[in-house]
Amino acid sequence: MNSNARRLLVVIAAAAAALLVWAVAVPLAGVDLTVPQGDTDLHVGPGLVAAAALVASLAGWGLLAILERATARGTRIWTVTAVVFLALSLLGPLGAASAAAVVSLLCMHLAVGAVAVTGLVRR
């Protein structure tokens, strides 16, 4: 399997991992994934979960491809950058409406990050 096909599968797997966490948290555990957004509340549904995971993973893949072409240490630079972005992304869920929502959203971020960081750089 060529590198692009494998990385596409990683992007899909990252979205699937996030959706799996959502499926356990919302339908099975009954967690209300609501995040305050100014004067309104944002309900985090499966479409938003999948879209966010796909966008983040595709952006990571794009940056990795650029860095691999631009420098001999592209993979190392990308890995450090990806881990920093993952750590920063963990701040977002902290504003969720409940502790259960915070934990669920943190797990989604970590699931996507774990799949993307480990999967995209594999050779």
Beta bridge mates, 41: 36
List alpha helices for 1-123, DSSP H: 3-23, 46-70, 74-89, 99-121
Going by C-beta distance under 8 Å and a sequence separation of 6 or more, which residues neighbour residue 111?
A: 14, 17, 18, 20, 21
108-117, pLDDT tens digit by residue? 999 999 999 9
Split into its structural domains, the chain has a count of 1
pLDDT value at position 82?
Answer: 97
Instruction: Look up residue 34 and give its DSSP letter.
Output: E
Which structural domain, as residue segments, surrounds residue 102?
3-121
pLDDT value at position 1?
Answer: 81
Is 52 within 8 Å of 113 (Cβ atoms)?
A: no
11-59, pLDDT tens digit by residue? 999 999 999 999 999 999 999 999 988 899 999 999 999 999 999 999 9
pTM: 0.93
47-100, pLDDT tens digit by residue? 999 999 999 999 999 999 999 999 999 999 999 999 999 999 999 999 898 999
pLDDT value at position 123?
Answer: 64
pLDDT value at position 41?
Answer: 92
